[in-house]
Amino acid sequence: MSQQTAILHLPGQDPIELPILKGTAGNDVIDIRTLGAAGYFTYDPGFLATASCESEITFIDGDKGILEHRGYPIDQLAEHSDYLEVCFLLLNGKLPSKAENAKFKKIVSEHTMLHEQLSKLYSGFRRDSHPMAIMCGVSGALAAFYHDAMDLSKEKHREIAAFRLLSKMPTLAAMSYKYTQGQPFMYPKNSLSYAGNFLQMMFATPCEDYVVNPVLERAMDKIFILHADHEQNASTSTVRLAGSSGANPFACIAAGIASLWGPAHGGANEACLDMLIEVGHVDNIPEFIAKAKDKDDPFRLMGFGHRVYKNHDPRATVMRKICHEVLDDLKIDDPLLDVAMELERIALSDPYFIEKKLYPNVDFYSGIVLRAIGIPRSMFTVIFAIARTVGWISHWKEMVEQPGQKIGRPRQLYTGEVDLTFPKK
């Protein structure tokens, strides 16, 4: 089929033909790269209709509520895979063989420890720091320890940096929590699974043996899978833009963590639990629904709505299932689950939410599950950062390895003053 084009009629110019590029799924794109020569830019603050790159990693269909990683639906990955196998898939574009899976897991387990000097960095923070503030600092500081593998033109360096980040993020995260609790850091245990090791570093103490609860371990691993990657979201786009300048991968991931912290993005899980606690009882729900609908009230229903999903977020559906499984297994009767389910039921029958296609997103139930696992609220977004590190690295790697990759440099619509004369003194 011949190349399709879009014809653009501009004042005083001949029509411009812009190529239409076709993907394997989702929207086709209009290639506007030649538009600058005609004296125009496109204007799309918030990138509502802008494709920033070509990617093969994750596909989302917001209208159908589809999320696939390298073509595999998220609910199947959550059901049948584990987080490190999903990491291999995201990083390498295919599921690992049995031998590749075992080798990948062994390498990850061999990089979990930090340089002892790095742990001294924590003592510079206040004990009441938010763990995400600490994570922004210590993740970027990794670059101060790994000069031996930061030549991005070398595939081996890119690979070792990826392993170091994937392996060390749970260690950095657990240490960020332990530091705020005034407890000693726990060293990683290579004999444990990725999720089990994280739980051990979070909750074990040197005083007694710690046995990983298999229910919590499986739930934690699934939560990591559900948060692993999500196409060109704000934090991933931040990592890509930082990486486009040639910045080292540790600095790029630190930039991603900073962006994820926002309550409109990864900070929503913590904000959503705060909201459910504030609602407190199903009788109070109508008041909060009214606030969410009030244009003059900045309150948003946290855990609801999404830039892309205008249908159910498939991750929320899986997360709700995990929520019931964990609470049932642990025989926890959390009244917040009743509030969440009633809030979801009421919102999904309210014309405001129906018209605006606002559905629960991945953050709506995650807070309740994390609370049941014993993860403190302040660590919710840190959990998101651990899980999303593989998505950030996969996109960083894809961008760095893409032929003809250019530094990201958006333009603007300038509406300020021009050609003023500086007043003579």
Closest distance between ligand SDX and the C-beta of residue 303, in Å? 5
d(CA 270, CA 166): 23
Binding site for ligand SDX (CB under 6 A): 230, 233, 264-265, 268, 292, 300-308, 356, 358, 361-363
Q: Check 69, 227, 230, 306 and give the catalytic one.
A: 306
Closest distance between ligand SDX and the C-beta of residue 221, in Å? 17
- Please say which residue, 105 or 227, places its beta carbon nearer to ligand SDX: 227
Is position 363 annotated as part of the catalytic site?
A: yes
SS3 category, 242 = helix
Q: CB-based burial of residue 120 (10 Å sphere; 0-12 exposed, 13-18 middle, 19+ buried)?
A: exposed
- Please say which residue, 19 or 73, places its beta carbon nearer to ligand SDX: 73
Size of the chain in residues: 425
SS3 category, 309 = coil
**How does strand 29-30 pair with strand 5-8?**
unpaired
d(CA 400, CA 153): 8
The angle subtended at Cα 271 by Cα 267 and Cα 272, nearest 5°, is 115
Closest distance between ligand SDX and the C-beta of residue 60, in Å? 7
d(CA 162, CA 80): 24
Q: Which residue is nearest to ligand SDX (CB)?
A: 305
Residue 33 amino acid letter:
R
Closest distance between ligand SDX and the C-beta of residue 59, in Å? 12
Q: Check 82, 229, 313, 363 and give the catalytic one.
A: 363
- Please say which residue, 171 or 394, places its beta carbon nearer to ligand SDX: 394
- Please say which residue, 200 or 232, places its beta carbon nearer to ligand SDX: 232
- Please say which residue, 201 or 386, places its beta carbon nearer to ligand SDX: 386
Closest distance between ligand SDX and the C-beta of residue 301, in Å? 4
> 142: which 2 tokens?
């990794």
Measure CA of the first residue to CA of the last residue in the chain; give whole Å.
68
d(CA 327, CA 380): 18
List Cα–Cα distances, 187 to 23, 172, 400, in angstroms.
Answer: 45, 11, 33
Is position 312 annotated as part of the catalytic site?
A: no
Closest distance between ligand SDX and the C-beta of residue 134, in Å? 21
- Please say which residue, 203 or 392, places its beta carbon nearer to ligand SDX: 392
Q: Helix, strand, coil proportions of the chain in percent (round to 5)?
A: 55, 5, 40
Q: Please give the positions annotated as active site.
A: 306, 363
